[in-house]
Amino acid sequence: MKPTIKDVAKLAGVSFKTVSRVINREPRVGQDLQDKVWKAIKELNYQPNLSARGLRGAASSIGFIYDNPNSNYVIDMQRGILEECHRQGYELVIHPCDTKAPDLLNELFRMLDRSQVGGLVVTPPASEMPQVLEALSQRGVATVPIISGSEPPAGHSPCVYIDDRSAAHQITEYLIELGHRRIAFLCGDEAHKSSTERLEGYLEALREHQIEPTPELILQGQYSFESGVERSKQLLALNERPSAVFACNDEIAAGTLFATRLAGIEVPKDLSIVGFEDSPFSRQAWPNLTTAQQPIAEIGRRATALLINRLRAEKSPSTLDSEGFHPKLILRDSTTPPTP
């Protein structure tokens, strides 16, 4: 027979209510009692009954909302969220959506009605759409948005924020210190605040070094390999080409690298390339791409932990702390000082 919560309580020498509090991560249980209960759970290989938990009114699953063409981002985010769900005994409902759809909110509400999830981890661009977060809040849905910013926004807590601007500033400053002055910037999707934040970091670094931004070197586009290829062809066709390209993510940077090979341009000798995110694209390309390391799986894991803490909190969610991530520059083989 499968072990029950009463079996765990007997082995640990505690009440079954204490076992329930430990499993639900309630904050009022002392560490010694927690250790005894978890030891008993492991020894008995006890698995909490999630359906019974749902009947008692507590959430047994959470949702992951995304609209992102970057498959590596989605896979890594999903992996981090799943790891935390499994660790804490939750199931995961994954829901891709089209944030440009006119019935987006109705779609999300239908998903919530069908799945009865306890809360949502929401990723860009939905997480950066005030009308979406407000509608979910009015419906009483607990959310943890993942956003681009140097600090958490006022009025919504907790969240996970990524300081894209400072990381982009660091990348651009690094290229300037190598001696580059004509530095192109390939933007990501306009709907994603990360694209705007990274562009602002790039512009701030240029201005701090008295380098006037050149409009023909700043190209709008999407977070995709194909967009990187097409825009890089435009840059390489200029009478005065850039000596470096800062791509808004690694997929774009890989597209730039592909375009240089088509044009017979050597990287980094003739053109330095920098990406962002440290995705497999940056490590599998040749040469390996200099980039900003953004731990997407860990971001997803921490967002999930915050959401579960919020679901279990007996106090106001505004008292839960947001968490910030600061991508770090990773130097590889795709950058070098410009050829004189």
Domain containing residue 37: CATH number: 1.10.260.40
pLDDT of residue 96: 94
Least confident among 20-34, 188-202, 231-245, 285-299: 20-34
Given pLDDT bands bounded at 50, 70 and 90, which one contains residue 318?
A: low
- For residues 245 and 260, state if they share a domain: yes
- For residues 40 and 78, state if they share a domain: no
pLDDT of residue 309: 86
Determine, yes or no, domain membership for 69.
yes
User: Residue 298 pLDDT more than 50?
Assistant: yes
Read off φ and ψ for residue 240, nearest 5 degrees.
-120, 100
pLDDT of residue 2: 75
- For residues 226 and 272, state if they share a domain: yes
- For residues 86 and 189, state if they share a domain: no
Domain containing 108 equals 58-162+296-325
User: Residue 286 pLDDT more than 60?
Assistant: yes
User: Residue 239 pLDDT more than 90?
Assistant: yes
- For residues 76 and 32, state if they share a domain: no
- For residues 70 and 158, state if they share a domain: yes
- For residues 303 and 256, state if they share a domain: no
- For residues 20 and 40, state if they share a domain: yes
pLDDT of residue 51: 46
Total domain count, the chain: 3
Given pLDDT bands bounded at 50, 70 and 90, which one contains residue 113?
A: confident
**Angstrom distances, CA of residue 167 to CA of 127, 163, 204, 299, 325:** 21, 7, 12, 16, 10
pLDDT of residue 319: 55
Residues in the chain: 340
pLDDT of residue 277: 94
Determine, yes or no, domain membership for 312.
yes
- For residues 29 and 115, state if they share a domain: no
Determine, yes or no, domain membership for 334.
no
pLDDT of residue 48: 64
Percent of all residues in the chain with a pLDDT value above 90, rounded to a whole number:
66
- For residues 157 and 172, state if they share a domain: no
Could you give the CA distance from residue 91 to residue 192 in angstroms, rounded to a whole number?
A: 28
Neighbour-count burial of 38, counting CB atoms closer than 10 A to its CB (0-12 exposed, 13-18 middle, 19+ buried): middle
User: Residue 73 pLDDT more than 80?
Assistant: yes
pLDDT of residue 45: 83
**Angstrom distances, CA of residue 166 to CA of 10, 108, 172, 323:** 53, 33, 10, 16
Determine, yes or no, domain membership for 340.
no
User: Residue 115 pLDDT more than 70?
Assistant: yes
CATH number of the domain at 180, please.
Answer: 3.40.50.2300
Determine, yes or no, domain membership for 301.
yes
User: Residue 326 pLDDT more than 90?
Assistant: yes
- For residues 157 and 301, state if they share a domain: yes
Neighbour-count burial of 27, counting CB atoms closer than 10 A to its CB (0-12 exposed, 13-18 middle, 19+ buried): exposed
Mean pLDDT of the chain, nearest integer: 89
pLDDT of residue 65: 95
- For residues 75 and 30, state if they share a domain: no
pLDDT of residue 116: 78
pLDDT of residue 72: 87
Determine, yes or no, domain membership for 146.
yes
User: Residue 24 pLDDT more than 80?
Assistant: no
Percent of all residues in the chain with a pLDDT value above 70, rounded to a whole number:
92
Determine, yes or no, domain membership for 77.
yes
Across 50-66, average pLDDT = 65
Alpha helices of the chain — where are they, by DSSP H? 5-12, 16-23, 31-44, 50-55, 71-88, 104-115, 130-138, 164-178, 193-208, 225-236, 250-262, 280-284, 296-312
Determine, yes or no, domain membership for 338.
no
Of residues 27 and 177, more confidence is placed in 177
Q: CB–CB of 201/323 below 8 Å? A: no
pLDDT of residue 57: 44
